[in-house]
Amino acid sequence: MAKAGTRQLGMRGALASLRDRLFQGYNMRDVRFGWLLVLPVTLWFGALIVYPLLYAFRTSFTNLHILYPDTTRYVALENYWEILSADDYFRISMRNTFIYAFISVALEMVISLGIALLLNESFKGRGIVRSLLLLPWAIPSVVNAMMWKWILHPDFGALNGIFYELGLIGIDNRINFVASAPRAIGICILASVWKAAPFSTLILLAGLQTVPLELYDAAKVDGCGVWGRFRNVTLPYLRPSLLIALVLGTQGGILIFDIIYIMTGGGPGGATEMIAYFIYLQGFQALRMGYACALSYMLGIVITIIAAIYFKLLYTEELM
């Protein structure tokens, strides 16, 4: 009946009935006020996030080069085809990023879980130690990278100094940490884990506080050991926090830029060239903006897939 009615009233009538259905049960004054309040931020997002993304999508089908804007033309899927079939550097930087992100996120999780469990115990000065966790999080990422570059300096660095004092190396064979590929990736991991792990620790500590203490006693009565209590009591309650720490850590790991820009510059020989840095080089050094836009859409697809996998693996009802 309703369908027949809309057909009779025509286009305008259909819209009116759609509007009625949409706003059914809503107070129109409230709705207008609510929309008014989100209007400024919506315009902001629209102009500076959504519009640029759409613009990038269009640009990714052109060969826009910032120095030769006159030669810009539509190239259909050429950029994407080049990325997938011909660009060795893309493949290498993707591989580097995955190696780096996997190791650093794994280390981050182990370290932050360890520290969180430790700081969940009671001891004197716990509050102070917990607030000191904010130190690595608060310092600028540029300073973090510079600090590690200085600590790992091949001639005057503190790490070489410690190795020397421990008698591990002589004064003449100080280690050059950026000279070999594994070491260069290692120092990037070291620097990023130092900054990111305390932050995940805070998230996990908050998760640990949601565990009801009675359950530990109950588990003890049921004959659970330390590991059993961790597996059956702590871990289920920690799941949401773990998922958040994991998602944030992975995102930060895949998008690593500052540390690479300052500590290694992608070297030695492209060993630490990660995907965000590679896109930056394509866009702002080679000035191939069209190609860089296509690259960032590929990166977006990869991130979406990873996020989907995480949610599939770890999502539970009580999370939201």
Partner 1 sequence: MAEIAERRRKRIRWGRISRQILIYVLVIVVLVYIIAPFLWLTISALMPRTELLNFPPHWIPEGLTTDNFKHLFIEPPPEKVYRFHIQITKKPEEYIHGLKNSVITAFSVTILALFFGSLGAYSLARIRWPGKHLYILALIAMRMIPGIGTVIPSYIIFARLHLIDTLLLLVILETAYLLPFSMFILYGVFQAIPVEIEDAALIDGCSRLQTMYRIIWPLATPGLVAAGTFGFLGSWNSFFTPLIFTHMRAKTFPVMIAELVTMWDADYTAVAATGVFASILPVVLALLFQRYIVQGLTTGAVKG
Strand residue runs (E) in 176-221: none
CB 120 within 8 A of CB 205: yes
> Using CB under 8 A, which of 5, 225, 265, 269 touches partner 1?
265
Q: How far is the CB of 13 from partner 1 (least distance, A)?
A: 20
Instruction: Give the contact letters, 219-258, x = binds to partner 1 (CB under 8 A), - = no.
Output: ---------------------xx--x---x--x--xx-xx
CB 234 within 8 A of CB 208: yes
Interaction residues for partner 1, span 66-85 (CB under 8 A): 66
Binding flag, residue 165, partner 1 (CB under 8 A): yes
Burial 29-42 (b: 16+ CB within 10 A, else e): eeeeeeeeeeeeee
Binding flag, residue 315, partner 1 (CB under 8 A): no
> Using CB under 8 A, which of 16, 37, 84, 309 touches partner 1?
37
The nearer residue to partner 1, 153 or 220, going by C-beta atoms, is 153
Give the chain's count of helices (H) and strands (E). Answer: 16, 0
Q: How far apart are CA 218 and CA 223, in angstroms?
A: 9
Binding flag, residue 158, partner 1 (CB under 8 A): yes
Q: How far is the CB of 1 from partner 1 (least distance, A)?
A: 24
What is the CB-side half-sphere exposure of residue 3 using CA atoms within 13 A?
0
> Using CB under 8 A, which of 74, 150, 311, 315 touches partner 1?
150
> Using CB under 8 A, which of 98, 136, 180, 181 touches partner 1?
136
The nearer residue to partner 1, 119 or 188, going by C-beta atoms, is 119
CA-based end-to-end distance of the chain: 39
